[in-house]
Chain A
Amino acid sequence: MTTTPSPSADGDTVRRAGSSGIGAGRPGFLWAAPAAVFFGLFAIVPLIMVAVLSFASWDGLSDPEFAGLDNWKTLLDDPVMIKSLWLSVLLTVLGVAVQTPLSILLGVWAAGHQRNRAVLSAIYFVPMLLSVAAVSVLWRAVLDPNLGVPAQATWLFGDGNLFGTQATAIGVLVFVSTWQFTPLHTLIYQGAARAVPQVLYQAAQIDGAGTVRQFFHITLPQLRNAIITSMILMVVGGLTTFDTVLILTQGGPGSDTTISAYYMYQKAFKSFDYGAASTIALLLVLVSTVISLIVVRLSGYDRMRSTMEGL
């Protein structure tokens, strides 16, 4: 190495460091630097600005004015705000509860070798390719009470007022995001199910375990890390859901589907109250962080236990 002429000593050390880094398999901080810089500029700095704004009143026109705890007080007294947090959590919980079992079953099935499986899986993954906005517009049209499916299937939908009552509006939101996102989670489970060592199943077969037992005693425990990964994605995605609400219900009827992220949008871009919007944003960050931490803690994900123990 010392015989190589180099334009600068600095460049030389980097080249050497880089090549030996690959060999060592554990990249250093430099690898993360570009991402870290952008993360700092576009995530940390704005987050700090939002935190500052949450203590100010600002309509976007004049200079922000320091307002102390006013935004926080107003929002914590605001029934719509409290309701929106509950709705966010409710939608997230419903999303996890519906999507997790569905995508585990589908994922494990898609990992197998049945006939036509590849074709069916390919068709099944189509919703994942569509944008959320397109999916929402599509379902809004399909569920139109007079021109869509409900007009034909009145025995199921009654008068078709799906967007007009809280329960059905929430049902539609859960259904549409399930339709859109189950394929993504199925993909995660498919990959994880394929990574389960076949020897486990062979051993179980010798011991006389049937398909159902194999699923509950081998597949499911082996999918633990995949379940946690997928659940964290669902929780974060659920708490920040916005586009489906914007297009499907606009927070209605009344404020019955006004989840926090949508309420934040209304405060910022309909009411031009950026202080209140920043407060909601910060609240959402706090709530999401706490919930993610709980999921990680409860699941033992932080201890990085391997599913390959005992092999």
Chain B
Amino acid sequence: MKRRARSSRTPVVGGAVLALVLSLSGCGEDSDAAGDDTIHVLVYGDAANKVEKEIVATFNKTSEVKAVLDTIPGADYQAKLQTIINSKQAPDVFFNWGGGSIKPFVDADLLLPLDSFIAKDPDLKAKFLPSVFNSAVVDGTSYGIPMRGTQPVLLFNNGKVLEKAGVAPPKTWGDLLAAVKALKADGVTPIALGGGDRWPTLMWFEYLYDRIAGPELFQKALDGDREAWASPDSRKALSMIKELVDAGAFGTNYDSVKFTDQGSPTLLATGRAGFELMGSWAYSTHQDSHPEFAKSDLGYSAFPSVAGGKGEQANVVGNTNNFYSVVKKTKHPQAVAEFLKLMYSDRFVKAQLAIGNLPTTTNTEGFLDTAASPGFARFQYDMVKAAPAFQLSWDQAYPQSAAVTMYQSLQQFFNGSMDEDAFIKAMQALPTS
């Protein structure tokens, strides 16, 4: 009798819990339905949100439809975006890296082609540097408007260390090899490398492939031509990477060093390394953690040229910029178009420059002197503007499903646990569509 009394009660408890769960989820939907005359702008959550907040506030001053800024902390951004983009919680406008990062969304028919916006307001295209604007073009259609700043990869150096070893920032590959020798003889690690993060290693591949084969080879590989990886140019690039590693350019423990925990920047700043190949953000990293070094000894130059290579010396690799893309389901395309126009406004450019970002609009040049570090801003701007080709980082150009294998193979080839043929085979197996 006791037992039955208990079990007869169980479904009631269960029912109550279920009702609670249902009513909770019901709440969620209510609050969603209320936001009818708003557009949601989703961005990567970090220090640059300061500018995005300001731009949203500017927009809201004049617009009927109000913009709401949502942020997702950086490390989780990509995964969470992927989860919500095809749900009711999808934003109207969202931050991305162009290229491969939006390709799956384009394929799933979730993004709004921006051609009609551009037809109505040609400035949406004309006011941006073409090499940058083009990296958010997928299958001939524009899907993104540049926002934030460009991030070319530069060869940073510690001036004091170079001076002591009697070397100058290298202009050619030969210069670099000679500098490696001299720095090694002087008892410092020639080049700091955060191999534990893997993506810093990738930058060496990107530049060498570009210098030797030109940007076309990688584009071919990206378009699905698997033979590109086995071409003589590809093999030459690989052998030069090997040559550099074997010369002891990176020391022997680079796989245990990271950029993200300040490992490799500290090596450079404290004079234990001569060079570091890194995205332009390294400048503000040093300004934050080694302000003295950033002011007096931090030098920078373009990646050296390679004699006989097909790629031009002025070519650049890195993150061309970040972009705003528009979700097809947005109820307020007009408001979104108006919002995107702010991305080439003077106000936007000034605000980005003030926090150390370098926007890629054609009017940026006029404001360079107001930048956090005008000399550095001008150097970068001239470099990006003059670049015949700006290669988007491989890990962002390729679809995300390629990232894991790509990183594994890069690290293994670099540290010698995978040979040339195995590396080529691994790259050929990467998904390209």
On A, residues with C-beta under 8 Å from B are 10, 13-14, 16-17, 20-21, 28-30, 33-34, 37-38, 41, 59-62, 80, 137, 140-141, 143-147, 159-164, 249-255, 258, 266-267, 269-273
CB of B253 within 8 A of CB of A159, answer yes
Which of A250, A253, A273 lies at the interface centre, i.e. has the most chain B CB atoms within 10 A of its CB? A253
5 more CB-based (< 8 A) A-B contacts, given A33-B14, A252-B196, A253-B412: A145-B257, A146-B267, A146-B272, A164-B415, A253-B415
CB of B256 within 8 A of CB of A164, answer yes
Q: List 9 A-B contacts (CB under 8 A).
A: A14-B9, A33-B13, A41-B17, A140-B258, A162-B256, A164-B252, A251-B408, A254-B409, A271-B402
CB of A34 within 8 A of CB of B198, answer no
User: Given the interface contacts A61-B82, A253-B411, does A161 sit within 8 Å of B252 by beta carbon?
Assistant: yes
* Shortest beta-carbon distance from B423 to chain A in Å: 11
Which of B6, B255, B418 contacts A252, CB < 8 Å? B255
CB of B253 within 8 A of CB of A37, answer no
Give every chain A residue within 8 A of B108 (Cβ-Cβ).
Answer: 59, 61-62
Contact with A along B261-283 (1 / 0, CB 8 A): 10100110000100000000000
* Shortest beta-carbon distance from A18 to chain B in Å: 9
CB of B263 within 8 A of CB of A146, answer yes
**With A and B bound together, what is the CA distance between A34 and B12 in angstroms?**
11
Give every chain A residue within 8 A of B83 (Cβ-Cβ).
Answer: 60
Give every chain B residue within 8 A of A59 (Cβ-Cβ).
Answer: 82, 104, 108, 401
User: Given the interface contacts A161-B252, A164-B253, A254-B418, does A140 sit within 8 Å of B261 by beta carbon?
Assistant: yes
Give every chain B residue within 8 A of A164 (Cβ-Cβ).
Answer: 195, 252-256, 415
**With A and B bound together, what is the CA distance between A163 and B415 in angstroms?**
12
Number of interface residues of B (CB under 8 A): 53
Give every chain B residue within 8 A of A254 (Cβ-Cβ).
Answer: 408-409, 411-412, 415, 417-418
CB of B253 within 8 A of CB of A34, answer no
CB of B13 within 8 A of CB of A28, answer no
* Shortest beta-carbon distance from A254 to chain B in Å: 4
By secondary structure, the A interface counts as loop
**With A and B bound together, what is the CA distance between A62 and B79 in angstroms?**
15
User: Given the interface contacts A145-B253, A162-B256, A253-B417, does A29 sit within 8 Å of B82 by beta carbon?
Assistant: no
Does B86 make an interface contact (CB < 8 A)?
yes
Which of A17, A37, A160, A163 contacts B196, CB < 8 Å? A163
CB of B261 within 8 A of CB of A61, answer no
**With A and B bound together, what is the CA distance between A139 and B404 in angstroms?**
25
* Shortest beta-carbon distance from A305 to chain B in Å: 29
CB of B255 within 8 A of CB of A28, answer no
User: Given the interface contacts A164-B253, A164-B254, does A10 sit within 8 Å of B9 by beta carbon?
Assistant: yes
**With A and B bound together, what is the CA distance between A267 and B79 in angstroms?**
11
Give every chain A residue within 8 A of B418 (Cβ-Cβ).
Answer: 254
**With A and B bound together, what is the CA distance between A162 and B195 in angstroms?**
12
User: Given the interface contacts A13-B5, A253-B411, A271-B401, does A159 sit within 8 Å of B10 by beta carbon?
Assistant: no
Does B293 make an interface contact (CB < 8 A)?
no
Give every chain B residue within 8 A of A144 (Cβ-Cβ).
Answer: 256-257, 261, 263
Contact with A along B334-364 (1 / 0, CB 8 A): 0000000000000000000000000000000
